[in-house]
Amino acid sequence: MELTTNQNQLRPIQTKDRIKFLDVLRGIAILFIFMANILSFAGFFSFPDETIISGTTFPIDETFDFIMYTLVDGKFYSIFSLLFGIGCAMQFNKLDTHDKPFVPFFRKRMFWLLVIGLIHLCLFWLGDILTLYALLGFVLIWFVNFSDKNLIKFAVILILLPIANWLFIHFTNLNYPKYFFDLNAAYYQQHGLPTEEWNGNFYADFHQFIANKSLSDYFKYNIGNTLIRIGAILEEGRIFKVLGIFLIGLWAGRKILNEDLLNNVKFLKKVTLWGIIIGLPISTVRTYIEFFGGREDLWGFLKTIAYAFGTVPLAMGIAALLALLYKKKPNLLNGFAPVGKTALSNYLFQTFIAVTIFYGIGFGYAGKFGFTVIMAIAINIFIFQMLISAWWLKHFRFGPIEWIWRQLTYGKAIKIVRKNQEKISKP
């Protein structure tokens, strides 16, 4: 976001002012977030193995699943959260440079992101991250004037708070997240939606939800599933994690703007090295616990600890490694930039296409494929997104949802179609 020649007018950030690597990194994050999310869409956790089509499983599936969980789960949404914080720092810097108030602008921006997120969460998919980002964006405003030292201090505390959250729930017997899971089960029963019993408790039957062929019931399910999302976020302490990473992003955004952080090869190498040395072994232990551990409380506690100490370091190490790779071979990664520039539209499109392919209201392929085939489907969908995004940006200035969001934020009509000279000069 920047100012026009009229100092009283605000307009979106222009192409010449963007840092291309951040678009590349955002595009890569969108790919791997989808590769993690598509497993839920595809019914990988909800359908029995008997429903899988013969010939769509491979001996490598379990190993591939283990590797992907170690390297991907939690890491790329952490990178996406980091980019959110970086974006906030850049928006604050632009407004501050021109003596414009940051808080009203950012609150309006978060309000409309919240509206978009709630529509996505309540009507289409319980795995939505936009709603949480928007709500925590309001909190992030309080930190924009903190010193660099305090940003990192609070970030570390917040990232470790899920451990305290786990201890509080289990030693006080105040299992407040369970309240929302129970509400979801009650909602399902009230609306005649299927539930399943486990250990004397009733839960939403996700097998039936995904297989459901009624569009009206699909929306009913999703409204109830919002309660599951709230419970899951509270149970795992995701509020603390995401806000902590936002603060690291604020710090990184300042360093990028003021100290040219993305060209500090020595620093990037240190982050890569220590991020992998610390994060990879701990993340591997977390995966082992997830795959082979029991359901006892001890396993849950160990997994919470492993997540807190392993996920963020490995995510930062991966981000720094990609920054180093981009410095050496930018053309290798530039294809991700169009998706990164239209990340919001692509993120929402992934829900639409995945529901169409896998859910009963679409083609109903949930539970039909093994792990490797599901990953191949995700990659092919993403390649399609890369092509469409590149074509779209040749003709339009913003992604379609980004365009709507910007107009709502700025309170005025913004042209989306590129001028003829822009189409020629900006491939």
Residue position matching structure tokens 């610390």 = 278
Q: pLDDT band for position 99 (50/70/90)?
A: confident
Six-digit token string for 203: 């839960």
Q: Which amino acid is at 47?
A: F
Which of the two residues, 421 and 201, has the higher pLDDT score?
Answer: 201
Mean pLDDT value of segment 158-170: 96
Alpha carbons 376 and 390: distance in angstroms, whole number = 21
Greatest alpha-carbon pair distance for the chain in Å reads 67
Alpha carbons 65 and 409: distance in angstroms, whole number = 41
Contact present, 243 and 158 (Cβ < 8 Å) = yes
User: Is the confidence at residue 87, as pLDDT, over 50?
Assistant: yes
Mean pLDDT value of segment 269-273: 98
- Cα→Cα distances 392→29, 341, 423, 427, Å: 20, 11, 11, 11
User: Is the confidence at residue 424, as pLDDT, over 60?
Assistant: no
Six-digit token string for 49: 């193995």
Mean pLDDT value of segment 173-199: 91
Contacts of 127 (CB under 8 A, 6+ apart): 37, 40, 229
Q: pLDDT band for position 97 (50/70/90)?
A: confident
Alpha carbons 290 and 282: distance in angstroms, whole number = 12
What is residue 6's predicted lDDT score, i.e. its pLDDT?
Answer: 39
Six-digit token string for 397: 């200035």
Residue position matching structure tokens 């283990």 = 66
- Cα→Cα distances 84→245, 306, 381, Å: 9, 24, 24
What is residue 15's predicted lDDT score, i.e. its pLDDT?
Answer: 44
**What are the phi and psi torsion angles at 329 (to 5°)?**
-135, 70
Contact present, 90 and 23 (Cβ < 8 Å) = no
Contact present, 205 and 159 (Cβ < 8 Å) = no
User: Is the confidence at residue 420, as pLDDT, over 70?
Assistant: no
Rounded to 10 degrees, the C-alpha dihedral 235/239/242/244 comes to -110
Which of the two residues, 422 and 116, has the higher pLDDT score?
Answer: 116
Six-digit token string for 257: 């703007």
Closest to 416 (Cα-Cα) out of 424, 401, 427, 90: 401
Mean pLDDT value of segment 390-419: 94
Q: Which amino acid is at 122?
A: C
**What are the phi and psi torsion angles at 367 (to 5°)?**
75, 10
What is residue 419's predicted lDDT score, i.e. its pLDDT?
Answer: 79
Which of the two residues, 16 and 68, has the higher pLDDT score?
Answer: 68
Q: Is 195 helix (H, G, I), strand (E, B) or coil?
A: strand
Residue position matching structure tokens 């990192």 = 152
Mean pLDDT value of segment 180-200: 89
What is residue 199's predicted lDDT score, i.e. its pLDDT?
Answer: 67
Q: What is the SS3 assignment for 327-346?
A: HHCHHHHHHHHHHHHCHHHH
Give the residues across from 396 on adjacent strands: 417
User: Is the confidence at residue 324, as pLDDT, over 90?
Assistant: yes
Alpha carbons 386 and 367: distance in angstroms, whole number = 27
Secondary structure letter of residue 204 according to DSSP: E
Could you give the residue ranges of the DSSP H alpha helices within 141-264? 148-172, 176-190, 206-211, 215-236, 238-259
Segment holding 2, helix H or strand E = strand 2-3
Contacts of 261 (CB under 8 A, 6+ apart): 252, 255, 267
Mean per-residue pLDDT of the chain: 92
User: Is the confidence at residue 425, as pLDDT, over 60?
Assistant: no
Six-digit token string for 83: 């980019």
Contacts of 309 (CB under 8 A, 6+ apart): 278, 282
Could you give the residue ranges of the DSSP H alpha helices within 297-419? 297-328, 330-333, 337-341, 343-358, 371-395, 400-410
Q: What is the pLDDT of residues 298-308, one digit of tens each?
A: 999 999 999 99
The number of angstroms, rounded, from the C-alpha of 226 to the middle of its chain's C-alpha atoms is: 17
What is residue 422's predicted lDDT score, i.e. its pLDDT?
Answer: 56
State how beta strands 201-204 and 195-198 pair: antiparallel
The number of angstroms, rounded, from the C-alpha of 124 to the middle of its chain's C-alpha atoms is: 16
What's the distance, Cα to Cα, between the start and end of the chain in Å? Answer: 22
Contact present, 128 and 230 (Cβ < 8 Å) = no
Kindly list the domain boundaries of the chain, sorted by start residue.
2-425
Secondary structure letter of residue 200 according to DSSP: T
Q: Which amino acid is at 231?
A: G
